Amino acid sequence: MADQNKWDWEIKEKKVPIGEWKEHFEWVEEPYASPDGEKVAAVVNIGEGEFNVCINGETWENPFEKIWYVRFSPDGRLTALVSDTGEWTVAVDGVPWENKFGYVWNTMFGPNGKNIAVAAQQDGEYCMVLNGEPWEEKFQNMTYFAMSQDGTKTAAAVQVEGFGEGEIHKFQQGCFTAAMDGQAWDNRFVNVWNMAISPDNTKLAAEVRVNLYDYTIAVNGVPWEKTFGCVWQPIFNPKSGSVIAPVRVSGKWTLAENGKFLWDGRFFQVWHQMFSPNGEKLAAIVAPKYGRWTVAVNGQPWTATFSDMVTDMVFSQDSSRIAALAKEGEQWKVVADGSVWSNVFDMAWKPAISSNNKYVAAKVEKKGKYTIAVNDRIWSKECEAAWDPIFNSNGDKILLRTVENGQYVRRVLPVTEITG
């Protein structure tokens, strides 16, 4: 993560009049705010077939024929996918990478923002590109991209054997595998899907289908001995290095570790499993009953369950707390440690937990207006746009990034100003 202690936590309010931008351009697309809140940017059209990025009122030096997927990296650099004369690349703070491609997409960032990766196609071949440098090896097709936790390695599911239209039996012999930094496994599979790279960057684990019916997890190309009716994305245990994945057995789901059942409980669904930062707790989103959703920690589901969806689960930094979002009908709810807020929303975004564990905050929307809620208390301002709130390292201040009356506002508040 970028060092948030270096951010300005003192000045209460800074504004950028983004509403004025539309007077200077043909049109202005939706704005994006930097993580530290100091910058706000949007793609702007400056004439037929000519685009630029406006950042705090200034455009990049050079325009492009096409620009999309404007995103700030965690260290505050502004990236976009840009095209000129039919070639695509990534522009970082307005400077395009030297290497150009037939197409690029799916920007990914390492945690400190130093590493930026995209998927690329050139002359009908596919590879990952990290900081402008493509893999040496290219593939016929490539899906399910992954980046290591430190951002230095990239991986993907790749096609290593060709097959023609309708060649179903050749397909079923296995034409796919996984590759890390371009190095493909020797083993081939019918399918390879979501994958994860171990914290020490030595292992790659992926969901695989070994024939049309048997699913398992392959680690560095070697499938678990046991197969299952289905599996979902694996993760690595940060302490032991073991691999944990949801597996389906006799129509029910549970978690398995290195191919052996880890949880005793069986659920109608298990996915999005996640270790706490200290590696002591393992939580997952589960359906203990058909059509009822909740969070289970170390196999024990919360008592509260929800009808439609549970999503965006997050641990506190000290691993003691968990927050998530739940949806019932058209209502979105924030749930902290199994307790549901009384306020409900038309939409909610991923919760944040303060480092002192006192507060849970989330961006929320009601009747088309955006605001921030902390510990079930709703901030009084209704905004045209908002971004996820960020706590300072002490947990006593909160950084809010909003658009109000056509102005982008960076605001630092004591959390108590919202909670009362």
Residues that bind another protein (CB under 8 A): 26-27, 29-30, 45, 49, 66, 68-69, 102-103, 105-106, 119, 121, 126, 141-143, 159, 165-169, 171, 176, 190-191, 193, 209, 212-213, 215, 229-230, 248, 250-251, 268-269, 271, 287, 290-291, 293, 307-309, 311, 327, 330, 346-347, 349, 365
Q: How far is the CB of 263 from another protein (least distance, A)?
A: 16
Beta bridge partners of 334: 325
Give the phi and the psi of residue 55 in degrees, each rounded to 5.
-130, 120
Nearest distance, CB of residue 328 and another protein, angstroms: 11
Using the minimum distance from each CB to another protein, give the nearer residue, 135 or 215.
215
CB 295 to another protein: min, Å: 15
- Residue 316 makes CB contacts below 8 A (sequence gap 6+) with 322, 323, 353, 355, 357
Distance CA 192, CA 176 (A): 6
Nearer to another protein, 320 or 331 (CB): 331
Q: Kindly state the smallest distance separating residue 148's Cβ from another protein, in Å.
A: 20
On whether the CB atoms of residues 40 and 49 are closer than 8 A, the answer is: no
Q: How many Cα atoms within 13 Å fall on the side-chain side of residue 208?
A: 32
Q: How far is the CB of 141 from another protein (least distance, A)?
A: 6
Residue 230 or 297 having the CB closest to another protein:
230
Return the SS3 of 300: strand
Pairwise CA distance, residues 166 & 359, whole Å:
56
Whose tokens are 């390292």? That residue is: 393
* Region at 74 (left for phi over 0; alpha for psi -120 to 50; beta for the rest): alpha
User: By the 8 A CB rule, do 179 and 215 touch?
Assistant: no
DSSP 3-state helix, strand, coil percentages of the chain (rounded to 5)?
Answer: 5, 50, 45
CA neighbours within 13 Å on the CB side: how many for 174? 14
Cβ proximity to another protein: between 193 and 275 the closer is: 193
Question: In terms of DSSP bridges, do strands 222-223 and 252-257 run parallel, antiparallel, or are they unpaired?
Answer: unpaired
Nearer to another protein, 363 or 410 (CB): 363
Among the listed residues 406, 366, 363, the one whose alpha carbon sits nearest the alpha carbon of residue 387:
363
With respect to another protein, which residue has the nearer C-beta, 291 or 414?
291
Report the number of secondary-structure helices (H) and strands (E) in the chain.
Answer: 2, 44
Of 126 and 224, nearer to another protein (C-beta) is: 126
Evaluate whether 363 touches 388 at the Cβ level (below 8 Å).
yes
Compare residues 205 and 415 and give the one whose CB is closer to another protein. 205
Provide, rounded to whole angstroms, the least separation between the CB of residue 247 and another protein.
12
CB of 191 to another protein, least distance (A): 5
Output the smallest distance, CB 45 to another protein, in A.
7
Q: Is 36 helix (H, G, I), strand (E, B) or coil?
A: coil
Closest CB to another protein among 108 and 412?
108
Instruction: Tell me whether residue 233 or residue 276 sits nearer to another protein (CB atom).
Output: 233
Minimum distance from CB of 113 to another protein (Å)?
20
Report the nearest approach of another protein to the CB of residue 385 (Å).
Answer: 8
Cβ–Cβ under 8 Å, residues 311 and 322: no
Amino acid letter, 47 = G
Q: Judge whether 19 and 407 are in contact, CB under 8 Å.
A: yes
Least separation in angstroms between CB 166 and another protein: 5
Q: Read off the amino acid at residue 79.
A: T
The rounded Cα 395 to chain-centroid distance in angstroms is 24
Asked if 338 and 373 touch (Cβ cutoff 8 Å), the reply is no
The residue (of 72 and 412) whose beta carbon lies closer to another protein is 72
235, HSE (Cβ side, Cα atoms, 13 Å): 16
